[in-house]
Amino acid sequence: MNAPKSPLRQNTTQSRRKTAAPLPTEEQILEFIRESKGPVGKREVARAFNIRGPAKIALKAVMKRLSLGSGTGDKGDIVKGKRRFHKAGVLPPVDAIEISAIDNDGDLFAKPVNWAFNTPPPPILVIAKAERGKAYGVGDRLLARLTPVGDDAYEARPMKRLPAGGGRLMGVYEVLPGGIGRLRPTDRRTRHEVTISAKDSNGAAHGELVAVEIIATRHHGAQQARVVERFGPMDRAKNLSLIAITAHGIPHEFSEAAERQASDAVAAPLGSRTDLRNIPLVTIDGEDARDFDDAVWAEPDTAPDNAGGWHILVAIADVSWYVRPGDALDKNAFDRGNSTYFPDRVVPMLPEELSNGWCSLKPKEDRPCLAAHMWIDSQGKLLRHKFVRGLMRSVARLTYNQVQAAIDGHPDDLTGPLVEQILKPLYGAFAALLKGRNTRGTLELDLTERQIIVDRESGRISGVMPRARYDSHKLIEEFMIMANVAAAERLEGSGYPCVYRVHEPPDPERLENLREALKSLDLPVPTGSARPADFNRILAKVRSGPHEHLVNTLVLRTQSQAVYSHNNLGHFGLALRRYAHFTSPIRRYSDLLVHRALIAAAKLGDGGWNPTSDPDLEEITAHISATERRSAAAERETVDRFTAAYLGNKIDAMFNGRVNGVTRFGAFITLDETGADGILPMRNLPRDYYDLDEASHRLIGQRHGLVLRTGDAVVVRLLETDDITGSIVFAYVEGASQGRGSTGSNRPGKHTGGHKHRTGPRSHKNKHKQKHRRR
């Protein structure tokens, strides 16, 4: 197995980082691109040549010269893609292919769909089982992972079948006068008109949610489509989340084999497991939680050399006992990558028999677990840890509200007997962990999460409110963080692979943009490579001030996105050198992989990492990072649709909100009470010429002096909602101060909609600034 090489590779990488290398020449970069197996962008070059800090800005200029063809290096066989370079004829790791031939042995061969070179495309052998009930044939298009196999040849492993014709769209079918059908797309980015003839309607009725396939396109005029799937009337509340599930291709039905495997599951035996049933572990979750995958317990450490320290136990459902590498459940879980949560439903990673059954740590029932014993000192520093495979029995299923009320002196019948022996020790250990968090300087952004209340009978939103956040939430969060750190530490030198959760420092270019914005506010500017503590000092300085919302927003947008990686790149936001996800294997495939590696590393029995088949961890981490982004996008779009539906009967009402961003076509507004996001178009601002000042994130009216800056409080009037696309349109209310608007308020204010408002490009006086804006 190749896994033991990982620690060496990681140590080599760390040693390289100690001294930053000089900026490479264009020829060196081009040679690196030629030798690379896949496409190369700025990030890959920076890592390869150890370019850090401000030098990345200089690197960007070099890469830009190459992309414009103005560099001095001989690009020759180097091709510029959308954002990356690659050697001519080299295919990307993931690409669209088309089946082009079937040989006498039944093997499938394909060609890339987008081949822009004069030379013949390389041969591609398709390695895959066909979809159930459907065989791949000549002409079928697939999205596939491509692996080089020798000189100019590839193997393709299909990820999914691509639709025929020009693509597949979702929308509401509407019948126009004369009997011609039209699609009202669910994707607000779809600008072209789509018509559907009666013979291609598949029996769809007016107002029905459908999926269509484009069958004819024209340079001018409408596209023609046929209905390929019907989902019922659009006014069904469940269709709001179904739109996102279908549009993003989120698997929501388990295979028959996976369903059968889950239904055949039985209780795990004690066997060689550690018996933890005498330890009073408790689960603490939200009111509406149905799957309980983590339980906690703490006691003072009795070791004489650790005064004030704590012994913590975090027990996690042993999903790896039921889901083995390569079986039907594993394949389905990998395809999903994670569970996806909508206001009205959950698309789980595992079937309900496991997620809400054998892998849920229900009270008073024996459940298999993987548990982390951790010993911390009085300042929250992790001293040592030990992982065991156990059998546990939760003594109580508690909620955040219950636990917080009990510790605040208002216990109920369930929590009353638990306060002294269970809850107070938990809070004692939490206090120590909090000291450790503060010492590290974890990034502390003030972000309010919104909770959408859905009526279970109608499936519609009955309210939107800020989600409460108590110390009980933070307690569980800190316990889980420490368990995740312990898992990463245990695997780091074990020779077994670890799926790290990495969060890289902010990109230097973004950091420079933040510095410019802070200078305009006369705020302290972090120098060099900023640390989380630097951001925290800025956030503390603006807290409760007029720029609090603006600075929180700007700092958030400066951060990079957390992803999964087989390389340990640290976690910037948590200020941790190593971090993995261990605590939620019911809903994250990454955690299941970490469990398997821990079981193998500690020799804890069956279900561990399979030493006979070492999977491509680079490919796996890229996949689960992508499925996480897919779920996040689907969840966000569905919340937008539910919120638009909720506000649909409040047209013309006034609301308090804040500017969430400015652009040359208007401003983005977030409402205070519901968190709804919408657009305030330029045409709905008071009549004026407006300049966009990108550096200070402002729209500035030339004549009348109206200034809209990101973070500013505003009062807006609701003009339009569309629950199909989730879009909301506002108008600016002149002369109304913050506090006059509220949910459903129809108080008088000047509605400025209906005018044609001009921006900089239409005024000769603004040419210089507009050119500056476009650079």
Q: Which residue has the tokens 């020009």?
A: 166
State residue 24's pLDDT score. Answer: 81
- Which amino acid, 63? M
Average pLDDT over residues 628-642: 91
- Cα dihedral value 39, 41, 44, 50, nearest 10: 150
pLDDT at 749 over 60: no
State residue 80's pLDDT score. Answer: 54
Cβ atoms of residues 713 and 701 within 8 Å: no
Q: In what order do the strands lie in the sheet with 382-393?
A: 274-275, 382-393, 366-376, 310-317, 294-300, 282-285, 396-399
Average pLDDT over residues 298-303: 97
State residue 508's pLDDT score. Answer: 86
| Angle at the Cα of 539 from the Cα atoms of 538 and 545, rounded to 5 degrees | 105
State residue 264's pLDDT score. Answer: 96
pLDDT at 125 over 70: yes
Tokens of 647: 């506000």
User: Of residues 233 and 390, which shows the higher confidence score?
Assistant: 390
pLDDT at 298 over 90: yes
- Using a pLDDT cut of 70, give the percent of the chain over it: 83
Quickly state the pLDDT bin for 87 (edges 50, 70, 90): low
DSSP annotation of 433: H
Quickly state the pLDDT bin for 121 (edges 50, 70, 90): confident
State residue 773's pLDDT score. Answer: 28
Quickly state the pLDDT bin for 729 (edges 50, 70, 90): very high
- State whether residue 598 is helix, strand or coil: helix
Average pLDDT over residues 466-478: 93
Average pLDDT over residues 128-136: 57
pLDDT at 755 over 80: no
Average pLDDT over residues 465-491: 95
How far is Cα 114 from Cα 93, in angstroms, rounded to an integer? 14
State residue 456's pLDDT score. Answer: 76
Q: Which residue has the tokens 């001294």?
A: 19
- Using a pLDDT cut of 90, give the percent of the chain over it: 49
State residue 571's pLDDT score. Answer: 96
Average pLDDT over residues 552-562: 90
pLDDT at 751 over 60: no
Average pLDDT over residues 573-598: 97
**Stated pTM of the model:** 0.75
Mean pLDDT of the chain: 83
Average pLDDT over residues 101-110: 77
Segment among 225-229, 582-586, 655-659 with least mean pLDDT: 225-229
Segment among 87-96, 438-447, 495-504 with least mean pLDDT: 87-96
State residue 74's pLDDT score. Answer: 47
| Angle at the Cα of 772 from the Cα atoms of 771 and 775, rounded to 5 degrees | 85
State residue 742's pLDDT score. Answer: 53
pLDDT at 767 over 60: no
State residue 167's pLDDT score. Answer: 57
Question: Which of 171-175, 318-322, 506-510, 723-727 is most confident?
Answer: 318-322
Quickly state the pLDDT bin for 746 (edges 50, 70, 90): very low
- Span 373-398, pLDDT tens digits: 999 999 999 999 999 999 999 999 99
State residue 391's pLDDT score. Answer: 98
State residue 119's pLDDT score. Answer: 66
pLDDT at 517 over 80: yes
What separation in angstroms does the CA of 416 have from each of 297, 382, 403, 456, 616?
17, 31, 10, 31, 50
Bridge partner residues of 196 (DSSP): 181
User: Of residues 172 and 739, which shows the higher confidence score?
Assistant: 172
Segment among 489-498, 682-691, 762-771 with least mean pLDDT: 762-771
pLDDT at 180 over 70: yes
User: Of residues 414 and 89, which shows the higher confidence score?
Assistant: 414
State residue 303's pLDDT score. Answer: 95
pLDDT at 696 over 90: no
Alpha helices (runs of H) in 181-264, residue ranges in sequence order: 239-247, 256-263
- Span 55-72, pLDDT tens digits: 777 777 777 666 555 444
Segment among 91-95, 171-175, 238-242, 593-597 with least mean pLDDT: 91-95
- Span 6-51, pLDDT tens digits: 332 333 334 434 455 677 887 788 777 766 756 677 777 887 788 8
How far is Cα 671 from Cα 742, in angstroms, rounded to an integer? 9
State residue 291's pLDDT score. Answer: 85
pLDDT at 645 over 80: yes
Cβ atoms of residues 415 and 406 within 8 Å: yes
Segment among 39-48, 568-577, 634-643 with least mean pLDDT: 39-48
How far is Cα 149 from Cα 265, in angstroms, rounded to an integer? 40
125 CB-near residues (< 8 Å, 6+ apart): 107, 108, 109, 110, 149, 153, 154, 155, 156
State residue 31's pLDDT score. Answer: 76
